[in-house]
């Protein structure tokens, strides 16, 4: 697949869902990809990328920003509080606000720095013990708490369990967002982004379908 193919599939899925063209943003997840592949997607004009580790992003993106100018960088992986300040300097959007302690840290740091990235609250829709995110039953209260701290919460994010139908999880996330008046929905990856768009995704996070398999 190429960037163009993925963009075309996104436009088609928007159309099929009766949604306006351009209502879905493509976050190209470049974690663990060779620099050459990332540079090639930058050369095609794409400017929205996702990483899942602060450290990896800090090594990779300052150089690309020097070469290619302004890039909107999204953190899609877990954030440790001791890396939060560094993350504030690197990312325009954080998709993984997943616990009260991180919310308090981001609130304090953004006061100090006078700015805060746009935030998505991660919901553990499958209630998987090994997965980050607030439980669906705790989401409403957590959203209220985050708003009370003046955090710029734009929407919700989920990563469905690998062995379940993702649409059920996308629908649950959309329902929680709707009843809390949140517009943003970060959901859908390489294997299921069209289903996510059908259920209202505003941000799809696509890695291997654009760049190829990751090198570990």
Ligand X SMILES: *Cc1c(COP(=O)(O)O)cnc(C)c1O
Angle between helices 166-179 and 136-148 (to 10 degrees): 40
Here's the x/- map for ligand X, 140-159, by CB under 6 A: it reads as: -------------------x
Residue at shortest CB range from ligand X? 207
Of 10, 185, 189, 201, the one binding ligand X (CB under 6 A) is 189
Q: Is 76 in the site for ligand X (CB under 6 A)?
A: yes
Q: Specify the DSSP element, H or E, that contains 121.
A: strand 118-122
Nearer to ligand X (CB atom), residue 74 or residue 176: 74
Of 10, 29, 153, 176, the one binding ligand X (CB under 6 A) is 29
Of 52, 124, 125, 202, the one binding ligand X (CB under 6 A) is 52
Nearer to ligand X (CB atom), residue 112 or residue 162: 162
Q: Which residue has the tokens 């090639």?
A: 40
| CA-based torsion, 107, 23, 159, 93: positive or negative | negative
Q: What is the CA 212 to chain-centroid distance, rounded?
A: 19
Nearer to ligand X (CB atom), residue 48 or residue 149: 48
- Segment contacting ligand X by CB under 6 A, of 107-115, 171-179, 195-203, 206-214: 206-214
Half-sphere exposure of 43 (CA within 13 A, CB side): 7
Q: Which residue has the tokens 């920003």?
A: 65
The C-alpha atoms of residue 153 and residue 111 are separated, in whole angstroms, by: 15
Q: What does the DSSP assignment read for 183-196?
A: -EEE---TTTHHHH
Residues facing residue 77 across a β-bridge: none
Nearer to ligand X (CB atom), residue 143 or residue 196: 196
Smallest gap from Cβ 150 to ligand X, in A, equals: 26
Q: Is 206 in the site for ligand X (CB under 6 A)?
A: yes
Would you tell me which residues interact with ligand X (CB under 6 A)? 29, 31, 52, 76-77, 159, 189-190, 205-209
């Amino acid at each position: 697949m190429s960037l163009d193919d993925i963009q075309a599939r996104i436009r088609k899925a928007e159309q099929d869902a009766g949604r306006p063209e351009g209502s879905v943003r493509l976050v190209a997840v470049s974690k663990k990809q060779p620099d050459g592949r990332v540079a090639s997607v930058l050369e095609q004009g794409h400017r929205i990328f996702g990483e899942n580790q602060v450290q990896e992003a800090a090594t990779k993106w300052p150089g690309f920003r020097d070469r290619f100018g302004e890039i909107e960088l999204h953190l899609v992986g877990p954030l440790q509080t001791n890396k939060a300040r560094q993350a504030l300097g690197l990312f325009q959007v954080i998709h993984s606000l997943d616990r009260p302690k991180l919310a308090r840290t981001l609130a304090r740091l953004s006061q100090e720095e006078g700015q805060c990235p746009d935030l998505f609250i991660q919901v553990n829709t499958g209630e998987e013990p090994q997965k980050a995110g607030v439980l669906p039953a705790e989401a409403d209260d957590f959203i209220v708490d985050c708003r009370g701290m003046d955090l710029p919460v734009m929407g919700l994010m989920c990563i469905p369990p690998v062995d379940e139908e993702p649409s059920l999880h996308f629908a649950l996330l959309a329902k929680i967002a709707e009843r809390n008046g949140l517009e943003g929905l970060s959901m859908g990856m390489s294997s299921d982004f069209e289903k996510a768009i059908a259920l209202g995704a505003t941000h799809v996070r696509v890695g291997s379908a654009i760049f190829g398999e990751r090198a570990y």
